[in-house]
Amino acid sequence: MEKNLINQKKKNAGIKGASLVEDKMMIGLGTGSTVFYLVEALAKRVKEENLNITAVATSSRTASLAEELGIKIKQLDEVDHLDLTIDGADEIDANFQGIKGGGAAHTLEKIVATASNRNVWIVDESKMVNELGAFPLPLEVVPYGSSKVYERLDSEGLNPKFRLDSKNQKVLTHYHNYIIDLHLGVIKHPHLLAQWLDHQVGILEHGLFLDTVNTVIVGKSDKAEVIP
């Protein structure tokens, strides 16, 4: 029941997100279960309204779903701009800063978000928090020397854990890197942490998405709220 309710909230956010797309737009598509509903709703609009849009996907999961449902997909380097990128998020704080990467796709998501003129996040209301950090912060880490990176993070008191799959194997990203999650509880100074992580050799990208998003769509049980 609870899961159904969360899915309904995600669906409401996804449908509202899809309503922002206009004919002839170049769209970035994020990754995750909320984006699933977005892609479904967008494909429906493309068919029913005969929209001519092109999309760039941040994961092979999203690309396959979109193509299967009839949305034209291109590689990021094949398009000259992106009008709008719509993605999910794991946490969004009161200042609209976010954590992403729960689906291990944050590096591609950050590249696409950075290339986009406008960024919209679609979330169920449980993702809205006062401060970031209860959700473990994902880092994409190059496998070579990753134990050394782990030790450095550990010695800084950042509580790192390699992300493992159901078979206890290290989770691999799109480019076969590892994910280390930082279990921080609370992140008091997201910009300082982001700056430090940006300078750590071996960390390809972290999941702090700061000053990135223009609009957040919060899915509730019976509607979706668009902020601002």
Q: Judged by CB, which is closer to ligand 5RP: 105, or 112? A: 105
Options 87, 91, 181, 205; binder of ligand 5RP; rule CB under 6 A: 87
Options 106, 110, 163, 206; binder of ligand 5RP; rule CB under 6 A: 106
List helix spans (H) across 52-209: 60-68, 106-114, 146-155, 190-198
Q: Rounded to whole angstroms, how far apart are CA atoms 150 and 189?
A: 21
List helix spans (H) across the chain: 2-18, 33-49, 60-68, 106-114, 146-155, 190-198
Q: Does 34 bind ligand 5RP (CB under 6 A)?
A: yes
Q: Does 97 bind ligand 5RP (CB under 6 A)?
A: no
Which range touches ligand 5RP (CB under 6 A), out of 81-89, 142-150, 166-174, 190-198? Answer: 81-89
For residue 189, CA distances in Å to 97, 110, 184, 186 come to 11, 20, 12, 9
Q: Does 140 bind ligand 5RP (CB under 6 A)?
A: no
What mask, x for binding ligand 5RP by CB under 6 A, covers residues 38 to 77?
A: ----------------------------------------
Q: What does R_g of the chain's alpha carbons equal in angstroms?
A: 17
Which range touches ligand 5RP (CB under 6 A), out of 61-69, 71-79, 100-108, 145-153? Answer: 100-108
Name residue 180's beta-bridge partners.
139, 162
CA angle 36/220/111 to nearest 5° reads 40
Encoded tokens for 168: 């206890």
What angle do the packed helices 33-49 and 2-18 form, to 10 degrees? 40
For residue 173, CA distances in Å to 142, 146, 151 come to 10, 14, 21
Options 9, 100, 110, 206; binder of ligand 5RP; rule CB under 6 A: 100
Options 11, 18, 62, 90; binder of ligand 5RP; rule CB under 6 A: 90
Q: Does 102 bind ligand 5RP (CB under 6 A)?
A: yes
Query: Least distance (Å) from ligand 5RP to the CB of residue 149?
Result: 20
Indicate the SS3 state at residue 3. helix
Catalytic residue numbers, as ranges: 109
Q: Judged by CB, which is closer to ligand 5RP: 51, or 115? A: 115
Contacts with ligand 5RP by CB under 6 A lie at 30-34, 87-90, 100-106, 109
